[in-house]
Every structure is written in C-alpha cells, then in structure tokens.
Amino acid sequence: MPQRPIAEDLIRQTAAGPRLLGGRRCSDGKVVFPLPQGAEGAQYEAMELADEGTLWSFTVQRFRPKSPPYAGADTDQSFKPFALGYVELAGQVIVESRLKVEDFADLKVGMPMRMTQVAFPTVSDPDTFTYAFEPA
C-alpha cells in the first residue's frame, strides 16, 4: 500500500482500521465531509465517520476525466473504468467515493458497504492512496 494519503486530514488511521475524518458543526451538530479547513474549519470539531454504510447511488466512469481537476497519473491509454458512488453513513452524511468492485454488475443500490483504502498514484506523487468503499 502506498505511504501517503491523497490529502491531509482526510483519513485517520485507528486501532480499529482507517476512518474518514469529517466535521461536526459546533453551532448545530451538522456533519460534513471532508473536514473544513481554514477559517471555516474553526466552526467544526473533527470526528471519525462510520466505516460502514449503504450504497445510495452509483455510476461507472468509463473514460478518463479531464485534467485538471483529475489528478490521476494514468493516461487515456492506461485508464481503467471505475465505479463512483454515494455511500450513506447512517445518521452522519452521504459520502462521494470510488467503489472497489471486480464486476460493476455486483453493485446494487441499498447494499451494505465498508470503507477501504486503494492506491491512487497522482502526477505529482506516485505513492499516494485514497479511500474507497467496497461491498461489505
């Protein structure tokens, strides 16, 4: 597994496994992901999000996204389609995520999902990883 997360303050490594790092707004308790940074971040307290949820919606990305904003190190020739979806973390927030699955036909709205980590080499750093969800 690569050594560095794609972004700081995105994933926290815990004894129970990796957790996404979200924020709870101090004024009303609203949960957001990712944890806001800068001046806005002062309004939130960091919190570890649930590592399991329910697939809310998904699609398959069948062509390489445009750069920027896409930062992947792949090329048009080496690009491999991937699933992308929204996973509902009950009582917290809905998270947009890559979905780790061998066969896209296995994905079903409403299925249980769990967080994992996947390599995501970028143009500027080939040794990075990001979060994803996979069928539980």
Domain total for the chain?
A: 2
Q: Is 106 exposed, middle or buried (0-12, 13-18, 19+ CB in 10 A)?
A: exposed
Which pLDDT score is estimated for 55? 98
Which pLDDT score is estimated for 2? 64
Nearest CA among 72, 52, 50 for reference residue 122: 72
Give how far Cα 132 sits from Cα of 26, 34, 42, 60, 119, Å: 28, 14, 27, 14, 10
The reply to whether 119 falls in a domain is yes
User: Based on the domain organization, do 11 and 55 belong to the same domain?
Assistant: no
CA dist 47 and 36 (Å) reads: 12
Q: Which residues of the chain have pLDDT under 70?
A: 1-2
Q: What is the residue range of 106's domain?
A: 51-136
Tens of pLDDT along 19-36? Answer: 999 999 999 999 999 999
